[in-house]
Structure 1
């Protein structure tokens, strides 16, 4: 493959109640709601984007909150853990902070020389906070509910659970341009670009685990970065030539996307860095209002009537 990703773009998961989702990711994790929009394929459902101050690629976790959908099953063929990067000295603070909010957290474990704290969000999605051993120069969202010195810097990695690793590892290397950098028992780590936080994926080999079912409380897909539309189009052509069943290029308003599955079953996306989240509202006002793409704008009144009202906290950390 002549094209390689530089790292993670975003992770998209399925939530239940949207207000509960907003409260947890803003108030408990201190992320910024950088875009409030809808699922373009199901406009009666929100699509909520959380990230850093501007929603830079590599900082983002997004959700489709389907209140009436069934609960999913964690297992093979899914991304089973989404990890965020935090400062090295912050793990103890996070354990105390989350415990004070009633979140059940794991013991801190050391993996690949990094301290890791694991817990579940209110829908059961597994989240990890990793004190990245090399440090993380990315700036956090500094107007949220978590003090900046402890705040999340962005995505650290994702874990894909599979029943066998060979084909999945082959696609990560051959089709995404990653390289294997570590192996510990049944966990293999791959890195994009120069590696480090935001450019890592772990492949966890669990042949005894059930096949996962994607629904509420599970990750829907994992997106990798492409710098621009031209590169993405060339990448798609190469994937097609290699026999990968890949979608056409889809307009997601804030980036362009293609989708395909890795052999273990996880849905992957390649998303462009451009144009970003400030194309339809000022940077200081990101996420505060419902934004619709031009093709859905004529149906705004109908769409707003279907969506539950969200009570969003203000940037000062007080109810809006």
Structure 2
């Protein structure tokens, strides 16, 4: 029983409106769900993905306008990757990033693939990674109504980088989920140990986690421009319950079963303090909206629908109509 790869990543923004503009108009991702943080309904939870928001394509954001900026450090999800189909797509993105004044590095090679390191306007550290040499098929299909041509569009999530002071406990937690060591690559910072590449399932870019040892950083302070948690894919609710039993057997403190309506979840922190989630592949985002208009109106799960008037009164309007 192994997880299938990365399900979604959830980061933090200070402006839902600016976030929506960047990820849809510049990166060309589709907003597939505009809902609220179910634990704090005064905050939006925005889900961006491929044309349907398939698992493995979702980059999501909590909107926390009163939060401070993140302080980079250990015990963090320090970099998130987005996949494109080819090296030719990276050439397109270099031109697009220049056109839109997106801070970025030139195309380089990292962990056997060509990449572009870049960041959004709030300082979130991101990577575009080419699937040119990836042996595993793309997770999703770019939306054909995106401003980015389909052949260059973002197809899903790539490797996630976890930065920790001591890698062994994090590796042990990943091994519980079925990850094994694939290889090691040279550190990005001189004087630091090699980065350990862990993979799960069929492997490939969408099923890799990079564990980066760093002894030169303080602990991260989470905030705007940082990543809140990473979620890994499990098949269905039956398998999730089996995972709950397995995580309980390890004595790792955890949330138990959590109903998120669009998927079902389990949360726990690995020993270095990074928040992991296990999330089911379904039911999906077309459960309560037509596929054609995903993300255009505020969607609420049934257990929050009775509070809609109060929720809408306490959240800043966000126009996501197309």
Same-fold status (TM-score > 0.5):
yes
- Summarize deviations over 1:10-67 as a string: whole Å, max 9, x none: 0001111000000000011110000000001111110000001111100001000111
User: Unpaired runs of 5+ in structure 2?
Assistant: 187-193
Q: Which runs of 5+ in 1 are unaligned?
A: 315-320
Partner of 1:235: 243
1:208 aligns with 2:216: yes
Q: Secondary structure at the match of 1:213?
A: coil
Q: 1:1-320, aligned counterparts within 5 Å?
A: 3-88=1-86, 89-132=88-131, 133-134=133-134, 136-137=137-138, 138-173=140-175, 175-185=176-186, 186-312=194-320, 314=322
The normalised TM-score by structure 2 is: 0.94
- Greater displacement, 146-155 / 102-111: 102-111
**Deviation of the 1:239 alpha carbon:** 1.0
Residue 197 of structure 1: how far off its partner (Å):
2.3
Q: Distance in 1 between matches of 2:37 and 2:250?
A: 30
Taking the aligned partners of 1:134 and 1:66, their CA distance within structure 2 comes to: 36
RMSD after superposition = 1.2
Instruction: Give the match's secondary structure for 1:246.
Output: coil
Quote how far apart the aligned CAs of 1:81 are: 0.4
Question: Which structure 1 residue ranges, 4+ long, deviate > 4 Å from structure 2?
Answer: none
Deviations 1:141-164 (A, max 9, x none): 221111111100100111000111
Q: Distance in 1 between matches of 2:3 and 2:144?
A: 28
Aligned residues: 311
CA contact 2:103–2:120 (8 Å) conserved in 1: no
TM-fit CA distance, 1:112: 2.2
Q: CA deviation at 1:313?
A: 5.6
Contact in 1 for aligned 2:265/2:277 (Cα 8 Å): yes
Deviation per CA, 1:53-104: give whole Å up to 9, x if none: 1111000010001111111112111111000111221111101101110111
Give the structure 1 partner of residue 190 of structure 2: none
Q: For residues 188-227 of structure 1, what are the alpha-carbon distances to aligned partners after superposition, in whole Å with 9 as ceiling and x for unaligned?
A: 1111111112111101111111210111110000000111
- Normalising by structure 1, report the TM-score: 0.94
